């Protein structure tokens, strides 16, 4: 792969991650309202159908990882715990928000204004600027995972290292996808829960990538050449 192959994508990612700086006030209000639990007055609760839907949806995305890596991925349990607790917190019982609100809730605190309203499974949801930004990041992550899944599926009957498709641009597109999903949920729902889980999961994903590379190199000597031509993630 030519060094400039991912240049435009890298520029896009840099610009995309600079967006919060251009809307600093909106993002600041959003993060303050959620991390201080002042958003308790607007959270959706006891929507268990929505909770179950999102848990199943995002856990399904773990399936393709098993095609790429033969070794047992012990971090599954941590990721499952993250998604289950996240969606129970968002649409079921906002436990950490309720607990934190007892200490940090300030009546009259400005809440982030919604810029988009949607109805999902009969539940009305209002999205502010940061939540829309996080949603776009989640969609980007899901797209990378799906592309990786399709590429691996098409090569299941072939022996050797999979380097075609999305793997011609990134050595770990699916893990990059999950990192974007985690960051997306952090931007969209920056509660004490995601503040704790997000950095731990990102660290775990990067660690898994490095472990995977050691394992793959043992089975495929040509991996060194592949690694020298294809970026780690971006």
Cα-trace Rg, the chain = 19
Task: Report how many domains make up the chain.
Answer: 1
Q: Is residue 1 part of a domain?
A: no
> For residue 141, which of 187, 102, 110 has the smallest C-alpha distance?
187
Instruction: Kindly report, residue by residue over 137-148, the tens digit of the pLDDT.
Output: 999 999 999 998
Instruction: Kindly report, residue by residue over 160-210, the tens digit of the pLDDT.
Output: 788 889 999 999 998 999 999 999 999 999 988 899 989 999 998 898 889
Q: Is residue 173 part of a domain?
A: yes
Q: Is residue 225 part of a domain?
A: yes
Look-up: residue for tokens 């006891």?
46
Q: Is residue 124 part of a domain?
A: yes
The predicted pLDDT at position 105 comes to 75
Which pLDDT band holds residue 1 (cuts at 50, 70, 90)? very low
Q: Where are the beta strands (DSSP E) in 45-148?
A: 114-120, 123-128
How many whole angstroms from its chain centre is CA 144? 11
Instruction: Kindly report, residue by residue over 40-93, the tens digit of the pLDDT.
Output: 878 888 899 999 999 998 888 877 665 555 444 556 778 888 889 999 988 998
Domain that holds residue 57: 7-229
Q: Is residue 234 part of a domain?
A: no
Look-up: residue for tokens 């959706």?
44
Q: Is residue 34 part of a domain?
A: yes
């Amino acid at each position: 792969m030519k060094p400039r192959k991912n240049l435009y994508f890298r520029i896009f990612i840099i610009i995309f991650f600079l967006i919060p700086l251009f809307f600093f006030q909106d993002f600041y209000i959003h993060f303050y309202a959620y991390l201080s639990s002042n958003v308790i007055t607007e959270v959706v609760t006891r929507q268990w159908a929505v909770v179950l839907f999102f848990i199943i949806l995002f856990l399904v995305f773990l399936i393709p990882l098993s095609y790429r890596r033969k070794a047992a991925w012990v971090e599954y349990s941590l990721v499952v715990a993250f998604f289950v607790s996240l969606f129970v917190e968002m649409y079921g019982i906002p436990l950490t928000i309720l607990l934190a609100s007892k200490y940090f809730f300030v009546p009259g605190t400005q809440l982030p204004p919604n810029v988009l309203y949607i109805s999902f499974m009969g539940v009305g949801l209002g999205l502010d600027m940061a939540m829309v930004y996080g949603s776009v990041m989640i969609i980007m992550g899901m797209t990378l995972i799906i592309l990786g899944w399709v590429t691996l599926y098409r090569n299941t009957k072939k022996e050797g290292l999979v380097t075609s498709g999305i793997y011609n641009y990134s050595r770990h597109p699916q893990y990059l996808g999950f990192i974007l999903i985690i960051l997306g949920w952090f931007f969209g729902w920056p509660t004490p829960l995601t503040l704790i889980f997000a950095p731990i999961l990102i660290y775990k994903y990067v660690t898994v990538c490095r472990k995977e590379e050691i394992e793959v190199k043992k089975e495929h000597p040509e991996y060194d050449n592949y690694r020298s031509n294809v970026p780690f993630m971006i």
